[in-house]
């Protein structure tokens, strides 16, 4: 299969690139860091012998995304799977105090992804009426917490977008899966979460790979976050707004 991984230079995305390449798929690895992507694809090619390409993209720069899409369809005539792991979480409430942080978070975590998935999903319908889109969001998108509500709001927008896209593509047999991780031990969570609460990026990438074999709409990683979020979402707003979360 031809697989596009957006967010491949780090964390879960890098592990996803390894697992898909190891399982015999051809991959395009994307994110901003071209040097990291080049080193990843040469590693993948040497280790697993399948085709691996580095195609950089910056999700905040919509003017360049049209050319990015031309580049990826110049390599793969059609794309079978898209896995999106790219996101930003600046921390220190930078998105609240700094206008640039707000725009970057929203563009990266929602607008840029929606722009690309709109284009690719339309191509999937025309090319083959098949395909799989797996997009990492976050449990943070399920309820606005005062400590990270701008990141959470961008993930909420992404969740709603994916839900609508899933419905739109259902009749074409194109699967859209929303993945809601709790904590994963990567650069994004470094220093923000106790290691014991986080799963490894290898664990997350294995779960993501398994989603290409099972049709799922929404998946929590690990699964117990489903229960935690049911409880969090059931707290009345009048109490929730008083909690220092
Ligand atoms: N880690 C956690 O605890 C946690 C918890 C819940 C949800 N998640 C979600 O899980 C997913 C994977 O996270 P992770 O932990 O693997 O994060 P990570 O290690 O920080 O990786 C994020 C990836 O996004 C790419 N990226 C950032 N800004 C970009 C931009 N403007 N354009 C293109 N690519 C960009 C980065 O590459 P470049 O810097 O090369 O662009 C990197 O490859 C994310 O959607 C995240 O929100 C993570």
Q: What is the pLDDT of residue 228?
A: 96
Residue 105 C-alpha to ligand 1 middle, in angstroms? 11
Q: Dump the DSSP string for 81-136.
A: EEEE-------TTHHHH-HHHHHHHHIIIIIHHHHHHHHHHHHHHHHTS-EEEEEE
Q: What is the pLDDT of residue 190?
A: 83
Lining ligand 1 with CB less than 6 A are 7, 9-13, 31-33, 36, 57-60, 85-88, 108, 136, 138, 181, 183-184, 186-189
- What is the spatial distance between Cα 111 and Cα 209, in angstroms, rounded to a whole number? 25
pTM value? Answer: 0.97
For 76-114, how does the pLDDT look when each residue is reduced to its tens digit (9 = 90+)? 999 999 999 999 998 777 778 899 999 999 999 999 999
Residue 31 C-alpha to ligand 1 middle, in angstroms? 9
Contacts of 134 (CB under 8 A, 6+ apart): 81, 82, 83, 84, 177, 179, 208, 211, 212
3-state secondary structure of 6: strand
Cα dihedral: 41, 73, 213, 18 (round 10): 0
For 32-54, how does the pLDDT look when each residue is reduced to its tens digit (9 = 90+)? 999 999 999 999 999 999 999 99
Contacts of 1 (CB under 8 A, 6+ apart): 25, 26, 80, 81
Q: What is the DSSP letter of 192?
A: T
Omega within 30 of 0 (cis) for the link into 134: no
- What is the spatial distance between Cα 183 and Cα 197, in angstroms, rounded to a whole number? 7
Residue 87 C-alpha to ligand 1 middle, in angstroms? 4
Residue 85 C-alpha to ligand 1 middle, in angstroms? 6
pLDDT level of residue 207 (50, 70, 90 thresholds): very high
| The CATH fold of domain 2-240 | Rossmann fold (3.40.50)
3-state secondary structure of 1: coil
Q: Which atom of ligand 1 is nearest to the CA of 86?
A: 24
3-state secondary structure of 28: strand
Residue 230 C-alpha to ligand 1 middle, in angstroms? 25
For 166-200, how does the pLDDT look when each residue is reduced to its tens digit (9 = 90+)? 999 999 999 999 999 999 999 998 877 766 789 99
Cα dist. 18→13, 44, 131 in Å? 9, 7, 20
Q: What is the DSSP letter of 146?
A: T
Quick one: what percent of the chain has pLDDT higher than 70?
99
Q: What is the pLDDT of residue 90?
A: 84
Q: What is the pLDDT of residue 128?
A: 85
How long is the chain?
245
Starting at the earlier edge strand, list the strands of the sheet with 174-181: 52-54, 26-30, 2-6, 81-84, 131-136, 174-181, 218-221
Contacts of 199 (CB under 8 A, 6+ apart): 181, 182, 183, 184, 185, 221, 222
- What is the spatial distance between Cα 233 and Cα 228, in angstroms, rounded to a whole number? 9
- What is the spatial distance between Cα 31 and Cα 54, in angstroms, rounded to a whole number? 9
Q: What is the pLDDT of residue 166?
A: 98
Q: Which of 28, 31, 187 to mutate to test the pocket of ligand 1 (most atoms within 8 A of CB)?
A: 31
């Amino acid at each position: 299969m031809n697989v596009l991984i957006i967010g491949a230079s780090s964390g879960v995305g890098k592990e996803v690139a390894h697992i898909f390449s190891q399982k015999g798929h051809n991959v395009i690895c994307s994110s901003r860091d071209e040097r990291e992507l080049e080193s990843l694809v040469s590693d993948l090619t040497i280790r697993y012998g399948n085709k691996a390409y580095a195609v950089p993209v910056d999700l905040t720069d919509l003017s360049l995304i049209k050319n990015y899409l031309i580049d990826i369809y110049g390599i793969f005539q059609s794309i079978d799977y898209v896995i999106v792991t790219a996101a930003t979480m600046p921390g220190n409430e930078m998105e609240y105090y700094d206008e640039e942080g707000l725009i970057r978070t929203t563009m990266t975590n929602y607008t840029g992804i929606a722009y690309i998935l709109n284009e690719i999903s339309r191509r999937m319908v025309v090319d083959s009426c098949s395909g799989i889109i797996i997009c990492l969001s976050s449990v943070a998108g399920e309820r606005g917490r005062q400590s990270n509500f701008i990141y959470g709001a961008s993930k909420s927008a992404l969740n709603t977008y994916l839900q609508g896209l899933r419905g739109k593509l259902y009749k074409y047999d194109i699967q859209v899966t929303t993945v809601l991780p709790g904590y994963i031990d990567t650069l994004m969570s470094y220093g923000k979460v106790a290691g014991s609460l986080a799963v490894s990026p290898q664990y997350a990438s294995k779960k993501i790979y398994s989603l290409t074999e099972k049709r799922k709409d929404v998946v929590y990683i690990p699964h117990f976050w489903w229960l935690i979020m049911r409880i969090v979402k059931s707290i009345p707003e009048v109490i929730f707004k008083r909690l220092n979360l």
